[in-house]
Amino acid sequence: MPKHSSNTLDPRSPLVLDTRDLPRRPGVSRTVERVAPAPADLGVELISVPEGADLDLDLRMTSVSEGVLVTGTVSGPVRGECGRCLREIDDTVTVTVQELYAYEDSTTDATTEEDEVGRLQGDLIDLEPVVRDALVLTLPTNPTCRQDCPGLCPDCGTPLDELPADHSHQQIDPRWAGLSQLTRKEE
């Protein structure tokens, strides 16, 4: 039988579900709707859910023969910067979660590896890992402020959509710089 981590969960934590009021009869369900503060480091380099931001949890816990199936959605704000023009991004994200949490000493608990399936710790379910996985894997590694963001001018660094259509920078190849001096003298 797999040995599980002995981290003690706090039943008062908003990302911990207590299953004591969920009978261990397959098919019995309970809904859970709550707002939980986002944990730290919930994102990628350019975009993330701010720590402490409200995460809206709309979940259903269903008793199944081997444990508790948790399904539903998690929504929250995301903030970051555009990977093309560096403008601030302020948006929301909604992800679907679905995770089986095996009862201690169940067949699933005994026949699966530690990281293959979630585990109940007593009557408690730790939602943080599944919420973290769902949200972080949904976030783009190179976010954009809009799909058609043109980015920055490579020469002056100004956002291209703020510049006129004929914007350009005259660059003279240094090997021809001497010739440009000749044309200036003739004018």
For the stretch 102-118, pLDDT in tens is: 888 777 767 777 777 78
**160 SS3 class:** helix
Q: How large is the average pLDDT for residues 81-92?
A: 94
**Spatial distance between the Cα atoms of 31 and 154, rounded to a whole number of angstroms:** 52
* Helix (H), strand (E) at residue 107: helix 107-111
At residue 2, the pLDDT reads 43
* Helix (H), strand (E) at residue 88: strand 88-102
Q: Above pLDDT 90, what percent of the chain?
A: 57
49 burial class (0-12, 13-18, 19+ CB within 10 angstroms)?
A: buried
pTM given for the model:
0.77
At 163, the pLDDT band (50, 70, 90 cuts) reads confident
Higher pLDDT, 3 or 184: 184
Among the listed residues 105, 51, 100, 46, the one whose alpha carbon sits nearest the alpha carbon of residue 76 = 51
Backbone angles phi, psi at 164, to 5 degrees: -65, 160
Backbone angles phi, psi at 138, to 5 degrees: -80, -30
**175 SS3 class:** helix
At residue 7, the pLDDT reads 63
> Which conformational region is residue 41 in: left (phi greater than 0), alpha (psi within -120 to 50 degrees), or beta?
left
pLDDT at 131 over 70: yes
At 186, the pLDDT band (50, 70, 90 cuts) reads low
Tokens 């709309």, located at residue: 58
* Helix (H), strand (E) at residue 147: none
